[in-house]
Amino acid sequence: MMGMREHSVATQQIEGLISLRRYTYKDIKRITNFFQEKLGQGGYGYVYKGKLRDGQLVAVKLLKNLKGDGEEFINEVASINRTSHVNIVSLLGFCYEGSKRALVYEFMPNGSLEKFIFKSDTSEANQQLSRETLYSISLGIAQGLAYLHRGCNSRILHFDIKPHNILLDQNYCPKISDFGLAKICPREESIVSMLGARGTAGYIAPELVIRNIGGVSHKSDVYSYGMMVLEMVGGRKNFEVGVDRTSEIYFPHWIH
């Protein structure tokens, strides 16, 4: 009974997003040419390149392994539907058809920031960005975060700021993406309640892991942003998989 009630609430939340275009799964297959070109993948699912009828290029995020009634999907749609900012990726539409869930975003030709700051064997990832460009990118991300925290009618806490979730357009203008872990709260609330830690190891703020050192707030995003900037400057990940001490996963010893 509880599951049916939750499903009904989720459906009402999605159907209330009248400002977004709703696509059928058949539309999604047509837009992506039957999922021909994969741009990336992660724990959430896959991202495919697509084209709308008017010729506009898009990125289609096809979600899989949704928990419960797809809380992450609803979070992402509800959060990003409230935004309009040059440093926030634009959501153009969505698919909510049975177990099929997809998000249609504007296409970012330069992909994620991650490939430009971490060394890799691939030639694409070895492209170097100038310090001026990196500074401009870091400033744009900060402006996007300030908008989420103070510029919307409701405060949006992202909880997963990291290079992989920063997309770059043709001019290397950064766009914050992936709002699956986001939390919407009233602007006047300084501290928010959390049932569990959210985020990615290496970027999670201490208060999300150790509850007795302070409350969770928009400052948790600021911490993640700072960790990401350190990676941009140092050109290396701050998360070390092979460390023996758990504390070093969240507070790498090379940061002083």
Q: What is the mean pLDDT of residues 102-110?
A: 96
Q: Which amino acid is at 25?
A: Y
Is the pLDDT at 241 greater than 80, yes or no?
no
Is the pLDDT at 200 greater than 80, yes or no?
yes
Confidence of residue 255 (pLDDT cuts 50, 70, 90): low
Report residue 179: phi and psi, to 5°: -100, 25
Alpha-carbon distances, residue 188 vs 43, 68, 127, 150, 153 (angstroms):
33, 30, 43, 10, 10
Q: What is the rounded CA–CA span in Å between residue 113 and residue 246?
A: 27
Residues 45-102 pLDDT 10s: 899 999 999 999 999 999 886 655 677 788 888 888 889 999 999 999 999 998 899 9
Q: Identify the pLDDT of residue 60.
A: 97
Pick from 103-112, 162-171, 179-188: least confident = 179-188
Written out in words, the top-level CATH class of the domain with range 2-106 is alpha beta
% residues pLDDT > 70 (the chain): 79
% residues pLDDT > 90 (the chain): 51
Q: Identify the pLDDT of residue 124.
A: 52
Answer yes or no: pTM beyond 0.95. Answer: no
Known binding residues: 61
The residue extents of the domains of the chain are: 2-106, 114-250
Higher-confidence residue of 77 and 247: namely 77
Known binding residues for ATP: 61
User: Which of 6-10, 44-48, 116-120 reaches the highest mean pLDDT?
Assistant: 44-48
Q: What is the rounded CA–CA span in Å between residue 242 and residue 150?
A: 38
- Domain 2-106 and domain 114-250, same fold? Reply is no
Q: What is the mean pLDDT of residues 158-181?
A: 95
Residues 141-150 pLDDT 10s: 999 999 999 9
Catalytic residues: 160
Q: Identify the pLDDT of residue 16.
A: 57
Fold of 114-250: Transferase(Phosphotransferase); domain 1 (1.10.510)
Q: What is the mean pLDDT of residues 222-247?
A: 79
Q: How far is CA 56 from the centre of its chain?
A: 22
Count how many Cα atoms sit within 13 Å of the Cα of residue 32 in the half-sphere of its side chain.
24
User: Which structure tokens are listed for 185?
Assistant: 């709260």
Pick from 9-23, 106-120, 205-219: least confident = 9-23
